Amino acid sequence: MVTLIIGKKGSGKTKKLIALANDTAAASTGNVVVIEKGSKLTYDITHKARLIDSDHYEISGYDMLLGFLSGICAGNYDVSDILVDSTFKICPTAIEGLEEFITKVNKLAEDSDTKITFLISAAEEDLPEGLKAVCEAI
């Protein structure tokens, strides 16, 4: 299952992600992975979750991010949740290509039985109609 947490910059999306990651890591019997751009969440995310800096792996764009997510799921069948902060900073084309990307990620999530959550800096009305069903506005 894929979820998009959306809201404009400064609306509290990252704080929600931190709480969600920590709560999920405490309750999950699987592994929780948090992908961020940079290393700003190091002291906010519990050590029970795996924190990955996308810059360290030079991830840029939807295709690279999809490949990276696929590798995480393929390399460890115990991954229960993946949370991605700053999606549009990792994928600078922003809304262009987002719907196709989410369709592919949704298939990956179903096949690997993994819940994947993305933080999107945009207003709900700016997103394609096909994505509104998986959105959670802040």
Question: pLDDT by residue for the chain (138 residues), tens digit each?
Answer: 899 998 888 888 899 999 999 999 999 999 999 999 988 888 899 999 999 999 999 999 999 999 999 999 999 889 999 999 999 999 998 888 899 999 999 999 999 999 999 999 888 888 888 787 777 665
Q: Is 5 left (phi over 0), alpha (psi -120 to 50) or beta?
A: beta
Residue by residue, DSSP assigns 32-55 as EEEEESSSTTTTTS-TTEEEEETT
pTM of the model: 0.91
Q: What pLDDT is attached to residue 76? A: 86
Q: What pLDDT is attached to residue 138? A: 56
Per-residue b or e along 90-114, where b marks 16 or more CB atoms closer than 10 Å to that residue's CB: bbeeeeeebeebbeebeebbeebeb
Q: Which CATH class is domain 2-132?
A: alpha beta
Q: What pLDDT is attached to residue 56? A: 94
Q: What pLDDT is attached to residue 21? A: 95
2 alpha-carbon distance from chain centroid? 9
- Nearest Cα to Cα of residue 33 among 54, 16, 13: 54
Q: What pLDDT is attached to residue 137? A: 64
Tell me if 54 sits within 8 A of 90, measured CB to CB: yes
Q: What pLDDT is attached to residue 11? A: 86
Q: What pLDDT is attached to residue 93? A: 84
- What 3-state DSSP class applies to 16? helix
